[in-house]
Amino acid sequence: MQYIQQVAFLLLATYAIWLFSKNILQIKKNIFLGRPEDLSDNANLRWKNVILLALGQKKMFRNPTVAIMHLIIYAGFIIINVEVLEIILDGILGTHRLFFEPLGNLYNFLINFFEVLAVGVIAVCIIFLYRRNIMKLKRFMSKDLNGWPKSDANYILVTEIILMSLFLTMNAADSAIQLKGNEHYHATGSFIFSGMLVPFFDSISVSQLILMERSCWWLHIIGIFAFLNYLPYSKHLHIILAFPNAYYARLKPMGEVKNMVNVQNEVKYMMEPELAPTGDAQPTTFGAKDVMDLSWKSLLDAYSCTECGRCSTACPANQTGKLLSPRKIMMDTRDRLEAVGLNIKQNGEFKDNGKKLLNDYITVEELRACTTCNACVQECPVSINPLDIIMELRRSLIMEDSNAPQEWNGMFGNIENNFAPWKLSPDDRDAWTKEI
Amino acid sequence: MQVPTMAEFLAKGETPEVLFWVGCAGSFDQRAQKITKAFVTILEKVGIKYGILGKEEMCTGDPARRAGNEFMFQMMAYQNIQILNGYNIKKIVTACPHCFNIFKNEYPVLGGNYEVIHHATFLQQLIDSGKINMKDGGAFKGKKITYHDSCYLGRANDIYEAPRSVLEAMDVALVEMKRCKSNGLCCGAGGAQMFKEEEKGDVRINIERSNEALATGASIIAAACPFCNTMLTDGVKNNEKEDEVQVLDIAELVASCLS
């Protein structure tokens, strides 16, 4: 019997990890459909960002109450993984509470600590469900989240509550079995929170308790493997990608727009034709129409987004009722990238299906509303830069499609002819000096 | 008062300490011209050897680049860098955060390397070094003033304290809006929005921001950007509060404390 359990566990674990790796590699492949951008400089500062922004969740603390609640779930999840390590080893080796004997008193301390965290996670998940579904906070009520994204968030919270409840029930059943005596179950005694459940299990027979304990153990680990494989389809992927995204975060001042070297050179050759290289110029496109035209970092950004909406809450356009929502920009980019990835997988190479990120996912009206104020960039807890995507799409609109509002065309014309965005004579530029 | 140009300095074989980059708004916009004049008044008073480019100055290309027109930006940048390097410019001061940002962050990679300083920082330095003395704490002593952060000064370049310390030097009662510093709300002009109608929505961004500024009860809304100034002035007018509340640049505030 024990032997069958071990084999079953090994098969399950192998399959779960294989499937997860496969999906993660697909995501990696999708991300590298983006244009190359060298972000390998300044390793020290980048590691500092990983520590501060990803591990330390520095930006979350712009709102301390939510930050502390989020930290409880996060710490619960990370630290309880030590317990998952024991569960996995027990599963493979057919042991029970493998760490109990080597760790001694420390073991009880650890399990008690995990239980405190588990109860904390359950409590915060309930508060978060309340915030999302009953309190109806504005950023969670946005139409950005209609459909799957809203369910996704709730599934995550409910799953976490279930996993933590299974962990506590398992411990309670274990303690109850010990009271009734069973040699396989170590005398750990009861734990801080699950101990409260033990009296309720008084009337249950040992065999039923063992069934209960085993069921909880299996459901818990199956749940964890299932959750692991849910990540690639979910906004919850941020628990992994927040780390690389912090590492590759832009280090330049937010005000700096990326230079377009191809345009810079074209202007230079126009002004100084003697510098121009001979031969036919390579055809290039300007800006981005689709995800493949964006930097790979923008695509990593899209997968790292956890749809919290802090960006859109800070966005002046969004807050004044314009169509633009930086969160939607990120969600659209991920959706389109997933579609492109699937397209390539099915056809061997990308087959044009008549759709593009620009216009089919993100509309001109959204792009036009951006004031480039960087509030979205400032707010993002996982170092996403929606403005990079907006800028690249705007460039394509203007330089590829000559699609500009009338007033902008006028402004361009004025800059070209009068060297100022207004239709005023360059001769009057210093007129003010005569009025002092 | 004669405002000296770089061409005149060159003719005399002299070099000024600093180039005052006036910017398109500061040169042409009637409201922003007052900021320019105030800043020049300060420069004169303190006795700084400065020059302007006069008719040789051109748009930096900021609105073109942010609208998406990289070609036009690169054209303007090329021409400006030719002129600036031609005069061997080392240091630039400007009262426009957009010009400041582009010189500081975007021209270097194109071959335009200058020490660039925004007038907020410049004024702070003059105050700190004792070159500007505001008599008796100045005309605005104790006055309730709120400061609106320009995105291109604040978030874009992390300059939050310099304009505030200029205001504090005048002994004003500084009140902050709810959304200030890195949480500051844009005036609505950035990203070339200044040059087009807003997209449709519930309210204009400048109205939203002006309402927030008015809600502080301040009698002066201080700004450090000519575009913010225009947007907020319009917002105050929209509220029919222009008789009670003024929108002023920090240079204007300092200038009226001198004399």
Distance in angstroms between the alpha carbons of the first and the last residue of chain A: 97
Which pLDDT score is estimated for B151?
98
Residue B7 half-sphere exposure, CB side, CA atoms within 13 Å?
Answer: 6
* Fold of the domain spanning A285-418: Fumarate Reductase Iron-sulfur Protein; Chain B, domain 2 (1.10.1060)
Distance from CA of A88 to the nearest CA of B (A): 45
Q: Do A371 and B193 lie within an 8 Å CB cutoff?
A: yes
Best residue in B37, B45, B195, B228 for a mutation probing chain A (most A CBs within 10 Å): B195
Best residue in A432, A434, A435, A436 for a mutation probing chain B (most B CBs within 10 Å): A432
**Per-window interface: A 44-103 vs B, CB < 8 A:** 62
pLDDT in tens, chain A (436 residues): 678 889 999 999 999 999 999 999 999 999 999 999 999 999 999 999 999 999 999 999 999 999 999 999 998 888 887 888 999 899 999 899 999 999 988 999 999 999 999 999 999 999 999 999 999 899 999 999 999 999 999 999 999 999 999 999 999 999 999 988 888 888 888 899 999 999 999 889 999 999 999 999 999 999 999 999 999 999 999 999 999 999 999 999 999 999 999 999 999 999 999 988 887 667 688 999 999 999 999 999 999 999 999 999 999 999 999 999 999 999 999 999 999 999 999 999 999 999 999 999 999 999 999 999 999 999 999 999 999 999 999 999 999 999 999 999 999 999 999 999 999 999 999 999 999 8
Closest partner residue to A421 (CB to CB) among B26, B54, B63 is B63
Closest CA to A375 of B73, B209, B230: B209
Which tens digits make up the pLDDT trace of B131-175? Answer: 998 866 678 989 999 999 999 999 999 999 999 999 999 999 999
pTM confidence score: 0.95
Which residues in chain A are contacts of B208 at CB distance < 8 A?
Answer: 316, 319-320
Residues B76 and B181 in one domain: no
Q: Is B92 helix (H, G, I), strand (E, B) or coil?
A: strand
Residue A212 half-sphere exposure, CB side, CA atoms within 13 Å?
Answer: 19
Which pLDDT score is estimated for B136?
67
Q: Is B223 helix (H, G, I), strand (E, B) or coil?
A: strand
Q: DSSP per residue over A302-353, as a string?
A: HHH-----HHHHH-HHHHTT-S--HHHHHHHHHHHHHHHHHHHHHHSS----
Q: Do B192 and A408 lie within an 8 Å CB cutoff?
A: yes
Residues B80 and B144 in one domain: no
* Kind plus residue range of the DSSP H or E element containing A126: helix A105-133
Reduced 3-state DSSP string for A51-101: HHHHHCCHHHHHCHHHHHHHHHHHHHHHHHHHHHHHHHHHHHHCCCCCCHH
Closest CA to A337 of A288, A377, A372: A288
Report the alpha-carbon angle B226-B231-B235, nearest 5. 140
Closest CA to A12 of A238, A288, A219, A311: A219
Is B62 part of a structural domain of the chain?
yes
Question: Is the Cβ of A310 closer than 8 Å to some Cβ of chain B?
Answer: no
Q: Are B66 and A409 a contacting pair, CB within 8 Å?
A: no
Residues B214 and B189 in one domain: yes
Q: Do A396 and B37 lie within an 8 Å CB cutoff?
A: no
Q: Rounded distance, CA B218 to CA B216, Å? A: 5
Instruction: Look at strands B91-94 and B18-21 and give their pairing.
Output: parallel
Residues B198 and B245 in one domain: yes
Looking at the DSSP bridge assignments, the partners of residue A189 are: none
Which residues in chain A are contacts of B198 at CB distance < 8 A?
Answer: 322, 369
Report CA-CA distances (Å) from A49 to A55, A98, A246, A382, B131: 9, 37, 6, 10, 40
Closest partner residue to B203 (CB to CB) among A62, A266, A321 is A321
Closest partner residue to A397 (CB to CB) among B68, B71, B195 is B68
Which residues in chain A are contacts of B75 at CB distance < 8 A?
Answer: 267, 416
Residues B10 and B115 in one domain: yes
Report the alpha-carbon angle A352-A357-A359, nearest 5. 105
Phi (first) and psi of residue B146, to 5 degrees: -115, 150
Is B128 part of a structural domain of the chain?
no
Question: Is the Cβ of A321 closer than 8 Å to some Cβ of chain B?
Answer: yes
Looking at the DSSP bridge assignments, the partners of residue B145 are: B174, B220
Minimum CA–CA partner of B58 in chain A: A419
Structural domain for B111, as ranges: 6-122
Burial class (CB in 10 A: 0-12, 13-18, 19+), A260: buried
Q: Do A378 and B72 lie within an 8 Å CB cutoff?
A: no
Give me the interface pTM, i.e. the ipTM.
Answer: 0.96
Q: DSSP per residue over B104-151, as a string?
A: IIISGGGT---EEEEHHHHHHHHHHTTSS--GGG-TTTT-EEEEPPPT
CATH of the domain at B226: 3.40.50
Q: Do B69 and A412 lie within an 8 Å CB cutoff?
A: yes
Which tens digits make up the pLDDT trace of B27-80? Answer: 999 999 999 999 999 999 999 999 999 999 999 999 999 999 999 999 999 999
Q: DSSP per residue over B55-81, as a string?
A: GG----SHHHHHHT-HHHHHHHHHHHH
Q: Is B220 helix (H, G, I), strand (E, B) or coil?
A: strand
Residues B98 and B77 in one domain: yes
Minimum CA–CA partner of B24 in chain A: A420
Distance from CA of B249 to the nearest CA of A (A): 17
Long-range contacts, stretch A353-360, CB < 8 angstroms, 24+ apart? A356/A289, A356/A290, A357/A288, A357/A289, A357/A290, A357/A291, A357/A294, A357/A332, A357/A333, A357/A393, A358/A288, A358/A289, A358/A290, A358/A393, A358/A396, A358/A397, A360/A336
A293's CB contacts (< 8 A; 6+ apart) are A35, A285, A287, A392, A396
The residue among B122, B155, B176 that closes a domain is B122
Q: Do B192 and A395 lie within an 8 Å CB cutoff?
A: no
The residue among B66, B90, B122 that closes a domain is B122
Write down the residue that tokens 């929505």 correspond to. B201
Closest partner residue to B157 (CB to CB) among A255, A420, A430 is A255
Q: Domain residue spans in chain A?
A: 2-31+63-247, 285-418
Phi (first) and psi of residue A189, to 5 degrees: 80, -175
Residues B49 and B92 in one domain: yes
Long-range contacts, stretch A225-232, CB < 8 angstroms, 24+ apart? A225/A12, A225/A13, A225/A16, A226/A16, A227/A159, A227/A163, A228/A16, A228/A17, A228/A20, A229/A16, A229/A19, A229/A20, A229/A23, A230/A155, A230/A159, A231/A20, A232/A20, A232/A23, A232/A24, A232/A26, A232/A27
Which residues in chain B are contacts of A397 at CB distance < 8 A?
Answer: 68
The residue among B68, B91, B122 that closes a domain is B122
User: What b/e readout covers A368-404, taking b as 16+ CB neighbours within 10 angstroms?
Assistant: bbbbbbbbbbbbbbbbbbbbbbbbbbbbbbbbbeebb
Reduced 3-state DSSP string for A259-288: CCHHHHHHHHHHHCHHHCCCCCCCCCCCCC
Question: Is the Cβ of A405 closer than 8 Å to some Cβ of chain B?
Answer: yes
Q: Please state, rounded to an integer, the average pLDDT across all residues of chain B.
A: 96
Question: Is the Cβ of A364 closer than 8 Å to some Cβ of chain B?
Answer: no
Q: Do B205 and A271 lie within an 8 Å CB cutoff?
A: no
Best residue in B58, B74, B200, B204 for a mutation probing chain A (most A CBs within 10 Å): B74
Q: Rounded distance, CA A24 to CA A285, Å? A: 30
Is B176 part of a structural domain of the chain?
yes
Question: Is the Cβ of A289 closer than 8 Å to some Cβ of chain B?
Answer: no
Is B1 part of a structural domain of the chain?
no
Residues B103 and B168 in one domain: no
Q: What is the dihedral of CA A418, A421, A425, A427, to 10 degrees?
A: -80
Q: Are B16 and B4 a contacting pair, CB within 8 Å?
A: yes
Closest CA to A363 of A319, A403, A420: A403
> In total, how many domains does chain B have?
2
